[in-house]
Amino acid sequence: MSVKYIPVQWNKFKYLYDAVILAGIMGFLWVFVTLTPGILGYDPAINPQILNMRAFGACAFFLMTFILLIGPLARLDARFMPLLYNRRHMGVLTCFVAYSHASFVIGWYFSFSPIDKYVAVLGTNTAYGQLLGFPFESLGIFALLCLTILAATSHDFWLKFLTPRIWKALHYLIYPAYVAVVAHVGLGALQNQQNQTFGILVVLGAGSVVILHLLAARHERTVSDPAAGAGATETWERICAAGDIEEGRAKVARLANGDRVAVFRHDGKLSAIANACAHQNGPLGEGRILDCLVTCPWHGFQYDVTNGRSPAPFTEKVPTYNIRLNDGIVEVDPEANPPGTPVEPLVINAEAGR
Amino acid sequence: MTGAETLVLLIQIWGAIGAVVALGFLTVGLGQIDEDARGAVTFRPLLVPGILVLWPLVLWRWWVLATGRDQWPLRHAPPRRSHRTVALIMAVLIPLTLLTAFSIRQDWPADIAPVQLEEGAPQ
C-alpha cells in the first residue's frame, strides 16, 4: 500500500463477508455439537471435550476445503470473483478454529500425566515407520504451523516487506498443509467406522479440490493465458490479431520466459503491461479499463495502462512492455521495461483494428 | 533429555529469539525501511506472531531493504506458473492418501475376539 498502515482496512463489503463467514462457522459448530450426537447416537457416548474437538476439527477441514475451492472457481467463472476479495480473513479465522481443535486435543488427551503436555503430544507415539497407528498428530501439527505462517503474514505490510513473489511463495504452503490435513483426517478420524457420513464428505471435499485445481490449470493454459507465438523477428513474440482485443479489455499471453503479458485496447490504442498486480499478483488482464485505468479483479488496485503506475496517492507500479503491429498482428518485446516506464500507446489503423 | 523434550526446548529458544527480533524491528527497523509505517503504531502488534515464527526471514529482508539491495523487478515475477505443478502433485497425493487411509481400516466384525499382538512392558 501507499498510505499509512492500519490494523484492518474495513469496508462495507468486508464487514458483510466476515459476518457471513462467522455466521457459517457458528452455525456449523452449533449443528455439530447440538444435533449430531442425537442423530449419530455415539456408542459409547462421547464427552463434551471430544465432541468439541471433533466439531472444531471438522470445521477447520471444511473451511480449508472451501478456501482452496475459491481460487479455481474464480479462475473458471468470474462470478465467483467476489469470494476471493477477502479470502485472507477466512484463512485467519480457519487458523483460530484449527487452534481451538488443537487445544481441545491437548487439553483432553495429553493433560493428565506428569509429562509436560506439549512433550507428550510430540513424544507419546513415535511409530513413524508404520501406517496403521501412524502418529497422525504430527501431520496436524505441520498443517497448524503452515496455517500459523499464513495467518501471521496476512497483513498487507508483509506483502510489501517480503515482496509479492516471496509472500505468494510462502502462501503456497496452503497446498502441503491441505495434503497433510487430508492425511491427518484419513489416518485419524476416518479410521473410526461408526459413521460413514464424515468419510463421504471428506472424499467429496478433497476430490472437489483436486478436480477443480486440475480444471483451472487446464483452463489457464488453453483459454485464459495461452502461449505467445513466435514473432516476425527472433526476439519479439506474437500475441493475437489487433482486432481480437475488445475495447476496454485485454488479451493475456504467456511469453517464452514464463512471464504473462496483458495487451489492452483503450480508445483504439494498444498498451501492454505485466499481467501480475503489484499487490497480490492478481490477473490484471482480466480487469476492465475505466478512464485509462485498469482495475485488478481481485482487490481493486488500479494502474494506468500507458505507464503501469497507480494513480496518486498510491505508488504501486508494474512493468510495461513495448509492442508493435505486424500485418495486423500484435507483437510484444518479451524484455519488460522497468516498473512504471511510460510507453506511447500504439494506434491501431482501421484495417488492423477490425 | 528425550527427542520430544529437545524439540520443545528448541521451539522455546526459537520463540525467544523471535521476541528479541520483534522488539528491535518494531521499535527501530520498521520505520527505517517502510515509509508507510512511520507514525502508524496500532497495526504493529499484529506483526508480532509473524516475526516470532519467521524471524530469520525478517532479519534478511530488513538487511536487504536497509542496505538498498532490494531488486524491484523481482517483485513482479509471480510464482503463479507453479500452480499447474501443484495441482498435479495434489491430484496424486490426495487420492493416494485417502486410498491408503481406507485400505488400512480394520473393518472386522464387531464381535471378533481380541488378539494380543505382543507382550506388554512389565509392570
ipTM of the complex model: 0.87
Mean pLDDT of B44-67: 96
pLDDT for residue A339: 87
A52/A5: higher pLDDT? A52
DSSP A226-270: PBPEE-SSSS-EEEEEGGGSPTT-EEEEE-TTS-EEEEEEETTEE
Per-residue pLDDT at A176 exceeds 90: yes
Per-residue pLDDT at A335 exceeds 60: yes
3-state secondary structure at position B68: coil
Q: Are residues A56 and A165 in the same domain?
A: yes
Residues from chain A that touch B57, judged by Cβ atoms under 8 A, are 162, 166
Per-residue pLDDT at A254 exceeds 90: no
Q: Is residue A4 part of a domain?
A: no
Mean pLDDT of A296-325: 89
Q: Are residues A69 and A211 in the same domain?
A: yes
**Is the CB of B76 less than 8 angstroms away from the CB of A274?**
yes
Query: How many domains does chain A divide into?
Result: 2
What is the domain range of residue A288? 237-353
Q: Are residues A168 and A262 in the same domain?
A: no
Mean pLDDT of A48-60: 95
Question: Of A191, A223, A255, which residue is a domain's last?
Answer: A223
Q: Is residue A209 part of a domain?
A: yes
* pLDDT range class, residue A1, cuts 50, 70, 90: very low
Buried b (16+ CB within 10 A) or exposed e, A223-237: ebbeebeebeeeebb
* Helix or strand holding residue B98 (H, E): helix B83-103
Could you tell me the CA-to-CA distances from A234 to A231, A237, A251, A297, A334 in Å, in that order?
7, 8, 22, 34, 11
Q: Is residue A137 part of a domain?
A: yes
Q: Are residues A61 and A125 in the same domain?
A: yes
Residues from chain A that touch B73, judged by Cβ atoms under 8 A, are 319, 336, 338-339
Q: Which of B5, B47, B105 sits opposite A157 (nearest CB)?
A: B47
Which of A6-10, A136-140, A264-268, B110-114 is predicted with the least confidence, judged by mean pLDDT?
B110-114
Strand partners, A260: A254
Test mutation, A2, A96, A122, A178, chain B, max B CBs within 10 A: A122
User: What sign results for the dihedral spanned by CA atoms A216, A218, A223, A229?
Assistant: positive
Question: Measuring CA to CA, which residue among A64, A68, A70 is closest to residue A83?
Answer: A70
Q: Which of B5, B42, B95 sits opposite A6 (nearest CB)?
A: B42
Query: What does the pLDDT look like over A99-135, one tens digit per residue?
Result: 999 999 999 999 888 899 999 999 989 999 999 889 9
Q: Are residues A291 and A318 in the same domain?
A: yes
Q: What is the CATH number of the domain that holds A241?
A: 2.102.10.10
Which of A101-105, A312-316, B40-44, B92-96 is predicted with the least confidence, judged by mean pLDDT?
A312-316
Q: Are residues A243 and A340 in the same domain?
A: yes
Per-residue pLDDT at B78 exceeds 70: no
Per-residue pLDDT at A354 exceeds 60: no
Are the CB atoms for A333 and A314 separated by under 8 Å?
no
Q: Are residues A21 and A163 in the same domain?
A: yes
Which of A39-43, A280-284, A338-342 is predicted with the least confidence, judged by mean pLDDT?
A39-43
Question: Of A198, A223, A248, which residue is a domain's last?
Answer: A223
CA distance A12 to B100: 46
pLDDT for residue A7: 83
**Is the CB of B75 less than 8 angstroms away from the CB of A339?**
yes
Mean pLDDT of A165-180: 94
Q: Are residues A183 and A323 in the same domain?
A: no
Query: What does the pLDDT look like over B98-116, one tens digit per residue?
Result: 999 999 987 656 666 777 8
Q: What is the 3-state secondary structure (H, E, C) of A105-130?
A: HHHHHCCCCCCCHHHHHHHCCCCCCC
pTM score above 0.90: no
Q: Are residues A190 and A280 in the same domain?
A: no
* Helix or strand holding residue B30 (H, E): helix B30-33
Question: Of A201, A223, A245, which residue is a domain's last?
Answer: A223
A128/A300: higher pLDDT? A128
Residues 45-64 of B with CB under 8 A from A: 46-47, 49-50, 52-54, 57, 61
Per-residue pLDDT at A236 exceeds 60: yes
Q: Is residue A230 part of a domain?
A: no
Q: Are residues A196 and A279 in the same domain?
A: no
Q: Is residue A2 part of a domain?
A: no
* pLDDT range class, residue A350, cuts 50, 70, 90: low
Q: Are residues A213 and A272 in the same domain?
A: no
Residues 181-240 of A with CB under 8 A from B: 182-183, 185-187, 190-191, 193, 199, 202-203, 206-207, 209-210, 213-214, 216-217, 220-221
Q: Is residue A168 part of a domain?
A: yes
Unique residue bearing C-alpha cell 483460530? A96
A111/B120: higher pLDDT? A111
Percent of chain A with pLDDT over 90: 55
Q: Are residues A205 and A79 in the same domain?
A: yes
pLDDT for residue B109: 60
Q: Is residue A329 part of a domain?
A: yes
Q: Is residue A229 part of a domain?
A: no
